[in-house]
Structure 1
Amino acid sequence: MTLADPFTVAILSILGLSILGLPIGHAMIVSSTIYLFLAGLDMGTAAEQVLNGLHTSYVLLAVPLFILAAELMNNGSMTLRLLEFCNAIVGRFRGGLALVNVLQSIVFAGMSGSAIADAVGTGRMMQKMMTEGNRYPASFAAGLTAASAVIGPIIPPSIPIVIYSLVSDASIGFLFLAGVLPGLAMGLVQMALIVFIARKREFPVEAPVPVRDLPKITVRAFPALMMPVVLLGGIYGGITTPTEAAAVAALYALFISIFLYRSVTWKGTYTSVLSSARISISVGMLIAGALAFNYVVTVENIPNALKAYIAGFDLSTTGFLLLVNAILLALGCLLEGTTILLIVIPVLIPTAHELGVDMVHFGIVCVINIMIGLITPPYGLLLFVMSSISGANINSIVKEVLPFLFAMLILLLLITLTPDFVLWLPRLFGYKG
């Protein structure tokens, strides 16, 4: 491979255009077209791959619908009622607001499917609550919010899992089920760490919510708490496909916000639709670029070349998964998660198949790796998001997030080595893997 090689030129084009500020999706489309021209292939193939990929991928419709549901929740009072409920449950303990931060991420995970949506939505509110009256340092609140937001896309519904299903052909329903226990385990690990840190740093104890108020708070939050039941009940009850369930989730959020809570006007609804459309377009362009570039990768026979290269190391299934962890964690420090799912994972899947790796277990391991990458220095996206929201210095946020990062890496290792833990719930619902 030389600098004049079409594939090398395509890679350098992506890097160069990205450095110049062109969105990565656009850069991949341009670079794929350049590759086709230099290789003497029909340049219209790039457009053909994009159109065919988007037209035949019914599952992709779930992405904008989950984004819309999250936007409607954030603009309505559903999020506030969920926070009130979480505070009533765990707010009374030392470091209570920190525990609330994690619990709300677990609850909110069943609704948005996006770590960024969690951080920008409920995370912004938690940052304000935790730093009010100097209860917690801004850097700790920001670091914790970034770490807890990682839980969101692991527990269903999950936009990264939808995208993984697209590239792997694994069942979305079983992937959603497989994410439940690892997501809950991650939440419990974070909460246990908070209990330790709260005692060591003498974080404040909040005034407990009177027991007599718990039924009223629960009733107020009940419609919002029912969203995961509606969503997952439809999927596993055989009533809806995952894409149809995403549409039901968006409609449910709209109905609750407008007619039951009466917290969103029709103008607010328009704003939510417009905002979700902008986010969906950016995700759509990234997927379009990946579809075009994946054709280039296929023409170059990269998956088979990588499979042959890895076969030379004579790795076991466990050894391969550990290698994948190392690769994805390293890439997660530098690249956005969707890019890794669309470009890197398809290259690894043939080798995983060859070694007999279960595709559902592999998907959860990959998604957890990518989510951890969002809080991994130096370029973890959530670190920058929370720095912008909190005003805290990136270095101070990194210092606070490191204990949570190490704890999650240990959990990732356990999940990697124990596929039965991930697959227990899917098998309970009939998965044969």
Structure 2
Amino acid sequence: MNLASPFSLSIVAITVLAFLGLPIGLSMIAGSIFYLMLSGADMGIAAEQFLNGMYSNYVILAVPLFVLAAEFMNIGSMTERLLSFCNVLVGRFRGGLAQVNVVQSIIFAGMSGSAIADAAGTGGMMQKLMTNGGRYTPSFAAALTAVTAVIGPIIPPSIPMVIYALVSDASIGFLFLAGIVPGLLMAGLQMVQIAITARRKNFPVEEPVPLREIPGITWRALPALLMPVLLLGCIYSGITTPTEAAALAAAYALIISAFVYRSISFAAFYRALFVSAKTSVSIGMLIAGALVFNYVVTIENIPESLRVILTGWDMSPTTFLIFVNIVLLLLGCVLEGTAILLIIVPVFIPTAQALGIDLVHFGVVVVVNIMLGLVTPPYGLLLFIVAKISGAPVRDIIRDAAPFIFWMVFCLGVITFLPDTVLWLPRLMGYQG
């Protein structure tokens, strides 16, 4: 590559601006405009790509709607009722509260689609419950909250999968289905690790919930438990598109919290709208920047050039997937997941297609890699979120999270080398890939 070429200089500009503290989305827009200026192209193309990309992709609307659904769920009493229900299921075992943390992440995964929303929404409550009376150390409670939150975007719905569908044209519905088995496998391995650690460290056994109280707890949690059933049922029955289902999820969360549980004040409602808008704008600017930069990458023919290079290496599909896993795991240590999805992943897609790798399988492998990046140092966004919630040092959280990260990498290996673990359920529902 010519280091003085417009493309090389635009990459330098993006990198410098990002290191100076400019948001990565704005850095990409500025770097792309710089490229257009140096190459003598019409700089208005940046605005054209920005507008066409944002307004012609209906699927992008699902992102702010899932964010809004998560906020409505968090400000109501849905969280407390669901945690009580999870406690009924697994609270009576040794390390029961730790197992509750995993189960609540599985249930919340069917609602928010965001690891950060899961950790921020229930993280503080689980932290308080687990550390009350010194039952668990703050660092272990924080580490567990971080690694269980990763399950959220793997089990549907999933904001990262929506973004992957945007850049790959893969079916969102089948991507959602493909994430169910890997997500449950990851959750199961986490529960096994908790059981092992509970015996070694003699974690406390919680007082079992009296049998007479179980029907009442279940009944009070039922409206919240029906949310993922309604959401996924509407998608897979064909009643709604995934974007329309996201709107339905937000409306349902608001109605249940406001009129059934009667636990939302006007101030909380306004705060939920404000937080959702702020989060959505942040994601939207990143998507917009990636759309403009991807135009530059396409003009430079980078994906095709990389496809030719990798094909020339005579890689098998399995070798290519191992290569992608290594690259994404390393990038996940230093880059934000959405940026990887929007900038790096599109470059790999042509090669994956040329090697005959199913794009739904590839998408799940990519998303699991990106979720791992959320709990791996030095970037590890979830690590910093739970550190702020718990007050525990990040190094202690990383130490306690290490065994769970090992099992997550093991799960990544399973879905990489055994594609049927990912594609079995979509094929059962009619997927032809």
Report TM bin, short chain. over 0.9
After superposition, residues 201-240 of structure 1 pair within 5 angstroms as 201-240=201-240
The CA distance in 2 between the partners of 1:188 and 1:124, in whole Å, is 23
1:290 is aligned to 290
Q: How does 1:50-89 map to 2 (within 5 A)?
A: 50-89=50-89
In structure 2, the gaps of 5 or more residues are none
SS of corresponding position for 1:121:
helix
Amino acid corresponding to residue 154 of structure 2 in structure 1: I
Correspondence for 2:17: 17
Amino acid at match of 2:23: P
Q: Within the alignment, does 1:308 sit opposite 2:313 as a pair?
A: no
> Residue 139 of structure 2 aligns with which residue?
139
1:345-424 superposed matches below 5 A: 345-424=345-424
Cα drift, residue 245 of structure 1: 0.3
Structure 2 counterpart of 1:48 = 48
Tell me how far apart the structure 2 counterparts of residues 359 and 124 of structure 1 sit (CA, whole Å). 37
Report the CA distance between 1:281 and its aligned residue.
0.3
Deviations 1:337-380 (A, max 9, x none): 00000011100000000000001000000000000111011211
Counterpart of 2:192 in structure 1 is 192
**Separation in 2, partners of 1:237, 1:182:** 22
Distance (Å, rounded) in 1 between the aligned partners of 2:12 and 2:132: 47
1:202 partner amino acid: N
Q: CA deviation at 1:2?
A: 3.8
1:4 positional shift: 2.3
4+ residue runs over 4 A deviation: none
* Aligned-residue RMSD, C-alpha: 0.8
User: For 2:211 and 2:123, how far apart are their aligned partners in 1?
Assistant: 26
Query: How far did 1:68 drift?
Result: 0.2
In structure 2, C-alpha distance between the alignment counterparts of 1:265 and 1:408, rounded to whole Å: 39
TM-score (norm 2): 0.99
SS of equivalent to 2:179: helix
Residue 273 of structure 1 aligns with an amino acid whose one-letter code is L
Instruction: Give, in whole Å, the separation in 2 of the partners of 1:313 and 1:3.
Output: 24
Instruction: Please give the alpha-carbon distance, in whole angstroms, between the structure 1 residues aligned to 2:197 and 2:18.
Output: 40
Distance 2:342 2:80 in 1: 34
Distance in 1 (CA, whole Å) between partners of 2:406 and 2:136 is: 21
What is the identity percentage for the equivalent residue pairs of Structure 1 and Structure 2? 65
Q: Which amino acid aligns with 2:347?
A: V
The two structures have a TM-score, normalised by structure 1, of 0.99
Q: Map Cα deviations across residues 223-252 of structure 1 (whole Å, 9 max, x no partner).
A: 000000110010111100000000000000
Q: Which amino acid aligns with 1:429?
A: M
Count of residue pairs brought into register by the alignment: 433
CA distance in 1, matches of 2:319, 2:210: 52
Determine the C-alpha separation between the residues in 2 that align with 1:359 and 1:424.
Answer: 14
Equivalent residue letter for 2:170:
A
In the TM superposition, residue 273 of structure 1 has moved relative to its aligned partner by 1.1
User: Alpha-carbon deviations, 1:170-228, whole Å to 9, x = none?
Assistant: 10000000001110111000000000001001111111111111111000100000000
Structure 1, residues 373-420: CA drift from partner, whole Å, max 9, x if none? 110112111111111111111111110111001111011101111111
Rounded to whole Å, the distance in 2 between the matches of 1:265 and 1:131 is: 29
1:145 maps to amino acid? T
Q: Distance in 1 between matches of 2:352 and 2:432?
A: 18
**Distance between the aligned counterparts of 2:122 and 2:389, measured in 1?**
12
1: CA distance, partners of 2:337 / 2:55:
23
Q: Deviations over 1:264-297 (max 9, x none)?
A: 0233212211110110000000000000100111
Letter in 1 for 2:188: L
Distance 2:8 2:123 in 1: 41
1:244 aligns with 2:248: no
Distance in 2, matches of 1:283 and 1:419, equals 30
Alignment match, 2:174? 174
Which residue is equivalent to 1:8?
Answer: 8
Post-superposition Cα deviations, 1:131-156, rounded to whole Å, max 9, x if no partner, equal: 11111111111111110000000000
Cα separation, 2, equivalents of 1:402 and 1:180: 24
Counterparts of 2:314 and 2:142 in 1: how far apart (Å)?
Answer: 43
Which secondary structure does the structure 2 equivalent of 1:432 belong to?
A: coil
Give 1:5 shift.
Answer: 1.6
C-alpha deviation, 1:101, in angstroms: 0.5
CA distance in 2, matches of 1:273, 1:381: 23
Q: Distance in 2 between matches of 1:238 and 1:45?
A: 37
For 1:408 and 1:182, how far apart are their aligned partners in 2? 10
Correspondence for 1:426: 426
Question: Residue 100 of structure 2 aligns to which amino acid in structure 1?
Answer: V
In 1, Cα distance between equivalents of 2:202 and 2:14: 49
1:320 aligns with 2:317: no
Give distance in 2, aligned partners of 1:209 and 1:18.
Answer: 51
In structure 1, what is the Cα distance between the partners aligned to 2:374 and 2:345? 17
**Structure 2 CA distance, aligned partners of 1:150 and 1:23?**
24
**Is the deviation greater in 311-320 or in 51-60?**
311-320
Partners of 1:76 and 1:393 in 2: CA distance: 30
**Take 1:195 and 1:289, find their aligned partners in 2: how far apart are those partners?**
44
- SS of 1:226 mapped into structure 2: helix
Cα distance in 2 between the residues matched to 1:198 and 1:7: 53
| Residues in 2 aligned to 1:372 and 1:99: alpha-carbon distance in whole angstroms | 20
SS at match of 1:156: coil
| Structure 1 residue 156 corresponds to structure 2 residue 156 | yes
In structure 1, C-alpha distance between the alignment counterparts of 2:125 and 2:310, rounded to whole Å:
46
- Specify the SS of the correspondent of 2:275: helix
Q: Which residue of 2 aligns with 1:253?
A: 253
